[in-house]
Structure 1
């Protein structure tokens, strides 16, 4: 009743090809027996291939979908069981193993090219309230004001001899521990005043002591408020880490600018930066990052591809968003791979307008013997000094600084120097970056590499289009980085299976018309669908 090229058959064969060792993490020797993890993996994956991401809807399909009944062998796990299995800690290992096994089958059947991978990123919206934002600048501003109030309170209490010195003379920072000590000291003073009131019978004296106690109580309440806010701001900064924002609903998500902006007001939304490596529109590896820019994710992503997915071919292909000095240096020196990545001004430099612009320092004549540049007016821009700059991420760049001795009277002065801070022309050269830019121009100019790079848009952008448009996977249904990564892996596996099923259907149709069996995919354990020899065996409960 199920066609040979149905998506359920592809899901079944892919899960059955995963080694038994990958499912050992789901075994337990206590409590009631559980459903077999292979069966649970099959029904969840099948649901994802049909854009069904809700645990309740997947459970509902077990009663009215023929393919789901076949995969589950008429078992009906509840939606709670499905949701618990989907976020099981061992699911990450299982998904990684599924990608490795699937890639091996693709390579065995020549469906992917082993020479290159295409890398790009896209942003996916988190399952978080868009108004539960926490921004670093706001937290730091409020914490600074709070600490000024805390220091004033500390100085006042110290002068009134309510508490001993808690800070050194050179210290100004009043921490939450100091505020707690101050709160305890005020509480002691309050108790003493209460005892004094009870021991005094004179009415004017009792009123005076009550007024003093009222002031102490107000100060104690303010001190407790300062302490709680200090703890809150400190905790928020710990959650932020190196990020500039996060969501209270999903603290692992960062607020980013999304392309899907239905309000058209540039509103930030909590989300994750998904990095994908693909070949022939099949996803070979992925990872999620909290930072919205692609430049800083490449080093971590290549490490993930090597350590997790055990795959990093000779040529790394990406767009200009990844073309930084640090990335070029890392790919060539650390991984010894070829980077087919243009830098940010690569396309501008190819245009005639740039090549004929005599005011651009890149087009000025260079005297290598004397290490100087000659401007369009014939003046010498000589080497001045070396300079190093370290960015906020710890990467150091080395520059050679050049300066003109005198630019007065130059007829091109207004065009050449547009900064109010400069009197004479100054230029800087990053020789290390210039070397990598020359390497990028050389590699991208080769016909073979140019053909590979032109394939990038067709390959990786199609993956994102299929994921968001055809699979309708634009927003996560779970929260937290670990759970979100599992759901992403399931969605990308479903995307691979949908594409593979289409290839199966096309080749099966072609085989049926021509009768030439050479067009079929090899009958490895994953591809026995063509003779209908493989059906799910009865599941053994663990």
Structure 2
């Protein structure tokens, strides 16, 4: 006698529930999606076809399509073809869409044509969280992460790569032409000669393509072009491997790990601090915020812009002078006397203030001592120049940066808090995306995908914090 659990015979008649609603429990997350989308004013958010004409073929209401996409991204189903299949067999989607089954082209077109509405929906959910008092005594961690683009590395070109490829094809063409010119002295069949002629013709065509690509690369501002997705860029990842990708900036609340703001960019983290911080301030309606970032964001002008808004900024100070590699004294080995406004060099000499200078749009104060530097015994350890003395340049607002650096050093475990806050959401979203990350091309479409992923992430976080029933009550208030 078998002790396994047995199923029912497949030919046995079954009495299903009379209503589709009986299949979906009261705590099912799909009910949260339904309540949230029904609470939105889709026309004001920028969705198309909310109001339709009386004539012509009817279309699906944007609310139904938005519910479908939120459900898909919440359950790691991002493909429009897979979503189409799910509408035919998934009981939760049958309930959510009221048994509507749009085809994959309609589903894909909705995401493509409603990028503004989807972006505003993502922002609207943050406003809902704000109304629920989720952001009090806010500490926000900012970081960027590279997400793979739909573009192979082989389809990305730089000046060096195109130059090397052109040289290699030139050498190959000359090699085959030399063989063909000397074919009478060697034993080659007619078939071999035909194959070589075809190879030379193909390589000449490829050489013309590479010449055109070289021109485009040299004319491009970044000196890099990607052929499959022109908006993607070849960037270094955390392990210093170059990858064709987008750099997604995010600002995450350290208390509840909600992503308050995000931005898809095409370059490194430097210069993005004020951009992301201003978006967070706008989303929360306050400047009473403490921002944390890693050394990749260290930019004096950027930090000053954030501090001027009234927010606190904590970024580790970095040295990019390259003095240590050159084998000379680093800037941090020169002590600055704030009261006397002068520097003291490692030899003990005083470098007084001499003049002002402009560098990269920043007003700098220059400190130098020509006589002391000329007669110094350790001059070779201070500068490689034979004629010019060692000069110290100090930004006119450097005191504010120094004060910020002192606050950073006093803040305990601040780097650990940043890692625990901002890196976890990136890992979660990348796991949902799968190995290939993005499915679409171009910056606009990639940004729409990112908005849907972050909306799904924030929605799941809130369901974990408040519970599905509690979140539905807050949405309907």
Alignment of 1:257-406 (within 5 A): 257-259=236-238, 267-279=241-253, 280-291=256-267, 293-305=268-280, 309=283, 311=285, 313-315=287-289, 316-333=291-308, 335-344=309-318, 362=332, 364=334, 372-390=342-360, 395-406=361-372
- The aligned residue for residue 495 of structure 1 is 457
**Correspondence for 2:147 among 121, 124, 143:** 124
Shift of 1:342: 2.8
- The aligned residue for residue 455 of structure 1 is 417
Give deviations 1:268-314, integer Å, cap 9, x for gaps: 322111011221211122111111x111223443455567x575642
Unaligned runs of 5+ in 1: 144-225, 347-358, 509-519, 528-542
Shift of 1:434: 2.2
Gap change, CA 1:244 and 1:424, over 3 Å in 2: closer
Looking at structure 1, the residues matched to 274 and 453 of structure 2 have their Cα atoms a distance apart, in angstroms, of 24
**Correspondence for 1:74 among 92, 99, 117:** 99
TM-score by length of 1: 0.64
Alignment of 1:137-156 (within 5 A): none
Shift of 1:425: 5.3
Q: Is the 8 A contact 2:147 2:246 kept in 1?
A: yes
TM-score by length of 2: 0.72
| 1:100 matches 2:123 | yes
- The aligned residue for residue 39 of structure 2 is 17
When the two chains are superposed, the root-mean-square deviation of aligned CA atoms in Å is: 3.7
Gap change, CA 1:249 and 1:434, over 3 Å in 2: same
Alignment of 1:212-291 (within 5 A): 240=220, 242-259=221-238, 267-279=241-253, 280-291=256-267
Gap change, CA 1:367 and 1:133, over 3 Å in 2: closer
Gap change, CA 1:479 and 1:69, over 3 Å in 2: same
Deviates most, 47-56 or 452-461: 452-461
Looking at structure 2, the residues matched to 46 and 79 of structure 1 have their Cα atoms a distance apart, in angstroms, of 15
Q: Is the 8 A contact 1:247 1:253 kept in 2?
A: yes
Gap change, CA 1:111 and 1:324, over 3 Å in 2: same
- Name the SS for the 1:26 alignment partner: coil
- The aligned residue for residue 170 of structure 1 is none
Q: Which has the larger radius of gyration?
A: 1
Deviates most, 478-487 or 494-503: 494-503
Looking at structure 1, the residues matched to 250 and 337 of structure 2 have their Cα atoms a distance apart, in angstroms, of 45
Shift of 1:2: 2.4
Give deviations 1:320-375, integer Å, cap 9, x for gaps: 22221110222133x343323332259xxxxxxxxxxxx66545555678754444
Give deviations 1:362-417, integer Å, cap 9, x for gaps: 45555678754444444343445433222xxxx33524142342457756456x33
Unaligned runs of 5+ in 2: 1-22, 167-206, 321-328
Deviates most, 428-437 or 20-29: 20-29
- Name the SS for the 1:405 alignment partner: helix
Looking at structure 2, the residues matched to 482 and 273 of structure 1 have their Cα atoms a distance apart, in angstroms, of 14
Give deviations 1:45-77, integer Å, cap 9, x for gaps: 111111111111111111222211111111111
Give deviations 1:77-120, integer Å, cap 9, x for gaps: 111111111111xx233223322331233223333336343221
